[in-house]
Structure 1
């Protein structure tokens, strides 16, 4: 532990904590929207459905730097959304950790939606129809029948989203830069160490920490998904 503490200074540990914070809030903020959009794409037929599907998956196709630049144009202090947020609520996203969370959430959103959508498409619509015939409202059917059945998919999507948010670099550094203590996440810190002679050891240590966090998140998701599946099966 002394060797690890000596290898990484306070700024590096700040980057670790900030990455966990950004990934957590990015996943939490994206989750309700991900469930809603996945439900629309899996269950509802409406004009523009293909366009919505394309927009959802656009961050997977675009270079991350392009996504970050678009965020800067829209949510920067001079952008239409950014100026409105600042004037109405005093909120600034560009060059803040909250902006890093927004960028990470947008980049992770397609993975979240896809996992939940696949889970929804695997649910037998007859079960939902049977609950509806008993007088349950659409919201009650979703909360008591659909959501428990898709819970393993929701957990898988949340873990994928968290992992993607932890590793996001291109959109984040373009939108919020690489400010130590404010917007410097794990990938940004690794990049910064690699630009300094003799920083390879610190960069490798952060890489190993990233792998450990990712493996821990995957292990936790497996446990939660198995518990959810057993609950659905009534065991």
Structure 2
């Protein structure tokens, strides 16, 4: 059951290493954002050299006994991939920064691995093409390596046997949240690759002819690669 927390949470502000006016000001003990001569980051949503509410942000961070850190573009890109793989969410770089910073906070001792953390993912990666650009030089797409992409694994499981959401989650080793599984299923159904039907109290999944053609196309593509 959800409810109101007893204590005010600690706030952590995350910025790109190539444009960190608030993070640097926090580190230096300044009350206002420091000057950034050249903002250099692919995370366009946070490429703001002079944030209008920077002073208010610094005040809020300190009042909550919080912190501020910066992460590289490479760390944000890695976080994007991890969020997509584990949760089925395509986040833009600025949003992925809230996950990219977690390792740094643990390493610095500002956060324990057992702490409860809320990472806000506020915007879709469809607004950016950084992942596509970063993958354009690869010989294989992410789903064609030795480890099958999540959606392909789901499709092949549904093709092989009768299953439903919770059963599918268990069969995949609970590598992601149950909510992420259902998000993948919703996407596959919207694309016409699977259908669902109710029998008793359960909603079972069934691959469509289009879904079978997609799997066959992937098999053919592997032969070419």
Question: Could you say which TM-score interval applies, normalised by the shorter chain?
Answer: under 0.3
Structure holding more helix per residue: 1
- Larger RCO, structure (CA 8 Å, separation 6 or more): 1
Larger radius of gyration: 2
More strand by share: 2
The TM-score normalised by the length of structure 2 is 0.22
